[in-house]
């Protein structure tokens, strides 16, 4: 039903032919006022597909080693991470989603000699979002999602959302899939930051070269004038 509605909305529009991810980011409208019409349908299709791919029969248990290292580093322990996830799920008012995501590092264009990512990036984070919003719109990489809309659990659990979320985490979640997503997210961040560092260094090299060229192009008279001005300033000081 969601797919049919989405196809009806995007037919003949600028969004036709885009991937779901491209469509979401394009139609989100950067959070200004209301997203464009395709966003909620595209995001719900993407969210549900992502959620279902996060599960397997006989899932649950402890995460694999690499993922567990990230969890211990960013939450203190697996148990603390689960508790924070549960807290987010139970405090999401109304329809929405709860996410475990990788908050990718950011290397901004700065004047420092060696820009480094902030401690606020390159970490696992838990978030809750209303309706169809997902962490992709914040440039985070989703690793795990649980649908906390009432229709996702009411037939089996009625209003016992906590029991539903616990069942997903303890018996259904595929931590191997979550770890695979983390590996890909980290690699994307490394590659992107590498490209960005090259651009920053190239920009600095060009600026230095331009400065050297300007220095070489100065006439002896200009150089003597600058020296006299500097000498005068030092005397006055």
Domain extents for the chain? 1-52, 59-189, 195-236
Question: In this structure, are strands 141-147 and 123-130 parallel, antiparallel, or unpaired?
Answer: unpaired
> Do residues 114 and 200 make contact, with C-beta atoms less than 8 angstroms apart?
no
> Do residues 131 and 81 make contact, with C-beta atoms less than 8 angstroms apart?
no
Q: Which of 41-55, 130-144, 150-164, 198-212 has the lowest mean pLDDT?
A: 198-212
Q: Which residues, other chains included, contact 162 with Cβ-Cβ below 8 Å and sequence gap of 6+?
A: 86, 89, 90
Instruction: Please give the distance of CA 46 from its chain centroid, rounded to a whole number.
Output: 15
pLDDT at 64: 97
Q: Which of 27-41, 73-87, 166-180 has the lowest mean pLDDT?
A: 27-41
Mean pLDDT of the residues in the chain: 81
Q: Which of 91-105, 139-153, 190-204, 222-236 has the lowest mean pLDDT?
A: 222-236
Q: What is the pLDDT of residues 117-139, one digit of tens each?
A: 445 678 999 999 998 899 988 88
pLDDT at 150: 94
Whether pLDDT at 183 is above 80: yes
Give the closest residue to 132 by CA, choosing from 228, 223, 5: 5
**pTM attached to this predicted model:** 0.74
Rounded Cα–Cα distance for residues 186 and 225 (Å): 54
Rounded Cα–Cα distance for residues 109 and 174 (Å): 38
CATH hierarchy code of domain 59-189: 3.55.40.20
Position with higher pLDDT, 169 vs 29: 169
Residue 90 structure tokens: 């139970």
Rounded Cα–Cα distance for residues 126 and 191 (Å): 24
């Amino acid at each position: 039903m969601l797919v049919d509605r989405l196809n009806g909305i995007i037919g003949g529009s600028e969004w036709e032919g885009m991937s779901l991810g491209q469509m979401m980011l394009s139609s989100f409208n950067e959070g200004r006022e209301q997203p464009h019409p395709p966003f909620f349908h595209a995001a719900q299709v993407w969210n549900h597909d992502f959620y279902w791919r996060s599960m397997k029969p006989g899932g649950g248990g402890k995460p694999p080693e690499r993922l567990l290292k990230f969890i211990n580093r960013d939450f203190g322990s697996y148990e603390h991470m689960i508790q924070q996830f549960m807290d987010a799920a139970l405090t999401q008012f109304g329809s929405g989603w709860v996410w475990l995501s990788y908050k990718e590092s950011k290397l901004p264009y700065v004047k420092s000699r060696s820009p480094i990512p902030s401690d606020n990036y390159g970490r696992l984070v838990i978030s809750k979002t209303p309706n169809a919003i997902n962490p992709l719109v914040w440039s985070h990489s989703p690793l795990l999602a649980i649908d906390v809309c009432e229709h996702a659990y009411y037939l089996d659990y009625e209003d016992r959302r906590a029991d539903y979320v616990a069942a997903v985490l303890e018996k259904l979640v595929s931590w191997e899939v979550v770890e695979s997503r983390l590996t890909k997210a980290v690699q994307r961040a490394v590659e992107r930051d590498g490209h960005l560092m090259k651009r920053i260094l190239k920009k600095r090299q060009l600026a230095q070269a331009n400065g050297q060229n300007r220095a070489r192009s100065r006439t002896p008279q200009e150089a003597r004038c600058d020296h006299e001005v500097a000498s005068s300033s030092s005397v006055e000081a």
